[in-house]
Every structure is written in structure tokens, then in C-alpha cells.
Structure 1
Amino acid sequence: VRSGSKVGSRYAFMRASTNQAYCPTLRGRVETALDPDIGSVQEIVIDGLTSSAVANAMKAGLAALIEAGPRGGCLRVGAGNYGGQLGQHHYHLKDLLP
């Protein structure tokens, strides 16, 4: 079962850790941000040489997820900002929709 990650950890040597609110296996132990029908969270990391390359990759990914839809297992799409700690660019999903 997958989960999302977050910047920071209780351990200084780790830059990122599990985002417990998006971890289905912790449901019932910690506060969750997931609906009851969500069984896993897939986190896709996109790196690119230019902002437009990243935006185009995100557009392609969103188009594929929309095409798959609930029947293909895609129930919800979201994005994290992480307070700008992971880069200078900020992408709004609504601006990248096909």
C-alpha cells in the first residue's frame, strides 16, 4: 500500500517522511485525509530541466488519469506544495487540465 510523503521528519537525517494523513494502513490510528474508499495513494515525482517541461509532463499525467477515471482506479487527484521547500515553481492543477 502506498502513501504520500511530506517534507521533514522527526529524524534530522531524513529530508522526507510518510505523510500519515495519506497513508491508508494508518487509518484508525491517526487522523486521515482519505475517503473510506481510497485504498492507496500514488505519489508521482516529476523532475525537469525547464518549467515548461514539468508542466507538459503534468498535463500528460493528468490527461491519462482523467481518461482512466474511477473505472481505472483514479478516484481523486491532488498536489502538494510543501511550502515551497522543494523548488521555486508552483503549478496549479486547474491550469494544467486538458
Structure 2
Amino acid sequence: MTTTSHSSITKPHVTEKTLRMSEENTYVFIAPKKMSKTEAVKQIEKLYDVTCTNARALAGTSKMRRWRGKIGRTGLYKKIVVTLKEGQKIELTGQT
């Protein structure tokens, strides 16, 4: 599968839980539903210049949303959980 602009890692998923996980060298990213785990790991390694030792993929579901009387759905997504090589780090915006 070739990488195109619409199939790239969207953003790091920053919550209280993921900030605690980052202390153990584990980071969570949001990716498009159709992206494979290996493709996501390659993009993370290239984008942040790190080496991933372990990766897991979790499929997220879309949710119903209402806005001004109209019903819609949120998009499908995938969470990619990666563990980095010892001594490497990714700087996230929510960290202190």
C-alpha cells in the first residue's frame, strides 16, 4: 500500500492516561481506519526519528452525533500504541 496524503498519522492522542503511558516509553497515535499497523509504525519512525520495539492497533468505532437537528456520524479511526526503544522519547504538547 502506498502512502498518500489522506492516509497519514493524524496526531498523537494526548490524554491523562497516555501521558502516564509516555513515562514508560509508550505512545498512542490516531490513524485512519484503513491504515495497516506496519505502515503506521513506519510513518511514526520516519516522522519522529525513533525506533519502535512493539506496536498494537485498536479499532475505534464511529459514534452518532446530533447537530442542529441533523444526525451524523463521526469518522472511523484506529489507535496505534507504540513502545519505543529504551532511551528514546517523543515530545508531546501536553507534557510538563
Q: TM-score by structure 2 length?
A: 0.26
Q: Greater strand percent: which structure?
A: 2
**Greater relative contact order (CA < 8 Å, ≥ 6 in sequence):** 2
